[in-house]
């Protein structure tokens, strides 16, 4: 009995010692961790992503609305100020007609954003409708949609965009239609893949057993499920639309030369780069690149927030 009692005391002492060690370890864990390890959860938190997304949106919305309501006199022609290098009065310099490049770049970026956003929105709705209907209806209709996707993606993207824009008379309408009719295949394939995985779910099969039609199932169950994928795809369409609008305008198949746009500004700058007027292409190019990078950051942040694998972090 004494032996058992002594063993029990030893075990109890070991348990107390182990509990004390564990308590001390928990108390000192934060002290032993390096500074960057303690800051990692705060950096990768949902709040951090939301701050980044809001900051990116704030910049893009500021540029958009400032350009929309800008006084044309700020970037009007003034031949007395031709080819002024960047200075305090003209941060981006002036062009060959004496127009202030800062205000012209903001106005051009705003016009490019407006056309790109409208075209991307139309294209995303087309992709969402075709992707859902293709997977839900199935059969020959599904094969036809996939054939259209393969045909559209098999052609050179920029060439197809130029042909559509040129046939529709170029300008804003031609560029808008060209971008909207060429950017839907990628989103269609992504949405269709999501719906194909969803249509064999038990609640979808139960809905059919209860007498719901394919349209009712798509409206009640399929569309709410694919909305997160749709929103991420919509945001990621924006930079492609803006880049392609600037590209075809730069090549002369897009917006007219009298309309401020990033593509027009870059096209005009090419004639003066050899004479050392570097600011004519540098600042518009940086604004375009910054807009594309910010849209990519917003899309990546939304993907992390809406993804089931990383949304809880």
CA distance 190 to 203: 22
DSSP 250: H
Q: Can you give the pTM of this predicted structure?
A: 0.75
What's the average model confidence in pLDDT over 110-118?
A: 89
Residue 146 falls inside a structural domain: yes
Residue 80 falls inside a structural domain: no
pLDDT digits (tens, 9 = 90+) for 22-54: 444 444 444 454 443 443 444 457 788 888 889
Residue 285 maps to which CATH number?
1.10.3720.10
Parent domain of 139: 47-68+99-306
Task: Name the nearest CA neighbour of 277 among 98, 111, 77.
Answer: 98
Task: Name the nearest CA neighbour of 157 among 235, 237, 264, 60.
Answer: 237
Q: Identify the residue with better confidence: 163 or 43.
A: 163
pLDDT more than 90, % of the chain:
13
CA distances from 106 to 20, 86, 256 (A): 64, 16, 17
Residue 92 falls inside a structural domain: no
Residue 37 falls inside a structural domain: no
What's the average model confidence in pLDDT over 7-26?
A: 45
In the chain, how many domains are there?
Answer: 1
Write 53-62 long-range contacts (CB < 8 A, 24+).
53/297, 53/298, 53/301, 53/302, 56/294, 56/295, 56/297, 56/298, 57/298, 59/290, 59/294, 60/113, 60/291, 60/294, 60/295
In this prediction, residue 290 has a pLDDT band, given cuts at 50, 70 and 90, of very high
Q: What rounded mean pLDDT belongs to the chain?
A: 80
What's the pLDDT at 307? Answer: 67
What's the pLDDT at 40? Answer: 40
CA distance 72 to 98: 14
Residue pair 84/94 in contact by the 8 Å Cβ criterion: yes
Residue 93 falls inside a structural domain: no
């Amino acid at each position: 009995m004494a032996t058992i009692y002594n063993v029990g005391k030893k075990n109890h002492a070991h348990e107390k010692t182990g509990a004390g060690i564990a308590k001390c370890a928990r108390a000192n864990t934060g002290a032993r961790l390096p500074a960057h390890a303690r800051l990692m959860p705060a950096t990768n938190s949902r709040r951090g992503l939301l701050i980044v997304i809001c900051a990116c949106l704030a910049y893009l919305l500021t540029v958009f609305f400032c350009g929309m309501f800008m006084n044309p006199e700020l970037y009007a022609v003034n031949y007395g100020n031709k080819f002024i290098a960047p200075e305090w009065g003209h941060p981006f310099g002036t062009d060959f007609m004496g127009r202030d490049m800062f205000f012209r770049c903001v106005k051009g970026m705003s016009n490019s954003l407006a056309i790109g956003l409208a075209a991307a929105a139309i294209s995303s709705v087309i992709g969402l409708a075709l992707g859902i209907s293709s997977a839900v209806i199935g059969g020959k209709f599904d094969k036809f949609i996939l054939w259209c996707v393969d045909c559209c993606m098999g052609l050179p993207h920029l060439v197809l965009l130029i042909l559509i824009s040129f046939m529709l008379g170029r300008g804003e309408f031609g560029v808008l239609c060209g971008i909207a009719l060429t950017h839907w295949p990628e989103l269609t394939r992504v949405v269709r893949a999501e719906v194909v995985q969803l249509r064999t779910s038990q609640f979808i099969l139960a809905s059919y057993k209860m007498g719901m039609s394919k349209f009712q199932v798509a409206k009640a169950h399929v569309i709410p499920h694919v909305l997160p994928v749709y929103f991420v795809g919509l945001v990621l369409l924006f930079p492609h639309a803006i880049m392609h609008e600037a590209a075809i305008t730069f090549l002369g198949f897009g917006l007219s030369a009298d309309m401020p746009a990033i593509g027009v500004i870059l096209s005009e700058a090419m004639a003066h780069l050899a004479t050392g007027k570097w600011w004519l292409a540098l600042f518009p190019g940086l604004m375009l690149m910054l807009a594309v990078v910010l849209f990519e950051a917003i899309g990546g942040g939304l993907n992390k927030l809406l993804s089931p694998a990383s949304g809880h972090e």
